[in-house]
Amino acid sequence: MELNRLNEFGKGEPEPPLVHNGSGPSLARKAEEEQERAWKQKIHQKLMKVLDLSLLGTLGKEEAERQLQEIGQRLMAEESIPLSLTARQRIIRQIQDDILGLGPLEPLLADKSIADILVNGHDSIYVERNGKLEKVDVSFHSDTHLLNIIDRIVSSVGRRIDESSPMVDARLKDGSRVNAIIPPLAVDGPLLSIRRFSIGRLSMEALMEKGTLTAPIAGLLESIVRGRLNVLISGGTGSGKTTLLNVLSGFVPDNERIVTIEDSAELQLQQPHVVRLETRPPNIENKGEVTQRDLVRNSLRMRPDRIIVGEVRGAEALDMLQAMNTGHDGSMTTLHANAPRDALTRIENMVSMTGTTMPVKAIRSQVASAIDVVLQVERQEDGTRRLVSVQEINGMEGDVITMSELFNFRRVGRDEEGKVIGHYKATGIVPRFHEHLHQRGIAVPLSLFDPDFED
């Protein structure tokens, strides 16, 4: 198939002016970039005149890229542009990204070291690498260019974004989460946030190498999952809650039926019997919404052995607690909280959001009965995501939920490179679930809980 109609456009358009410099290497490079940008815009405009976009959409990506490259090279030859072969190839690649992909974001999406991409307007883009934010030398041509890319993202998943609906959550083809917000809500121009999707599922060994936890604690967590204890993972934004949940889910036996419920599907379970459910936002008429609470309720009719909720945010907390209390032991979920005790308070508040008339003591009793273990994760100032506390919920004493900390991470300072220094310390408390695991044939050595244990 041929996509161009080269004989349909005229000649004689003014060429971009050549930019001369005379001050030094930095100014010279800047002048070259300006020259490339000008030629890119000119070639892109000519290309759009000769492209049949409806036909382009019917081709596979490789064939579309090949034809775009062929037409782009032909146009460049006709214009006799004064650029090197490398610069010409770079321009063609950028044009391919603009037409077929996500424009300037494509190189960032290809960089596996980047965890988050944050676009604060067309000329301000930040990324997160190794837990730290840094600005990158990448930009869109204009707010209109950025809006076109945002529209392409959201329309590909059947969503829309405009002045009447200026906020949207979506998902890229690779599973990365996307949030976009445009004017009039975004005062200084369109905003785009992309939480990268990890292609390769992290293993417990990888987490240990990154310093998230130690081998003895990893062994305990594996025993907790295999022993079908209900686990709550608590932490702040970007602290690694979903990553830890992914890793722990890998310890679920293959013969169990697992139902996962998420706002935006991120979990990468490898078991053969997994049912994945995802919420649906309301349509333009504000109808058709399916919430996490709807999905949790429905999952109870799907004969699950375990229910995994990506993140508890609202009224679904009550249904999740009831599921954990009615035979779906071994379930797991995450939520935002800065401490294990705060996590329980948040669940209590979320249950209250349902409008239930249950007394506070009854709600706390449900929480204490449903959740067995709380894992607190934290992103520390050196960028390391670390499990900082392992706590067991013991039950109720009066109106208070009692908890016992089994392990914690004790900081002792920072080294010359700014890395957090510390070690894990057992508190000396033997958890009540130790006997439960023993009865299930899961051996956990008592020496693991010795207060002299350090790592």
**pLDDT (0 to 100) of residue 7:** 37
- What domains are there in the chain, each with its CATH number? 1-100 (no CATH), 103-197 (3.30.450.370), 204-449 (3.40.50.300)
pLDDT at 211: 87
Query: What does pLDDT average to in each consecutive run of 10 residues of the chain (455 residues)?
Result: 41 41 55 70 69 62 72 73 75 74 85 90 90 87 88 80 85 82 92 80 84 92 95 92 91 92 82 90 80 91 92 89 87 94 94 84 92 95 91 93 94 86 92 93 91 66
Q: Which two tokens stand for residue 380?
A: 């520390």
Q: What is the pLDDT of residue 345?
A: 94
pLDDT at 198: 65
Kindly report the backbone phi and psi dihedral angles of residue 369, in degrees, each rounded to the nearest multiple of 5, phi listed first.
Answer: -80, -30
pLDDT of residue 263: 83
Determine the Cα–Cα distance for residues 427 and 173; give it in Å rounded to an integer: 45
CA distance 312 to 335: 5
Q: Return all residues near 77 (Cβ < 8 A) that are at least 6 apart.
A: none
Task: Return d(Cα 227, Cα 75) in angstroms, integer.
Answer: 66
Selection from 435, 421, 454, 449 nearest residue 211 by Cα: 421
What is the pTM assigned to this prediction? 0.76
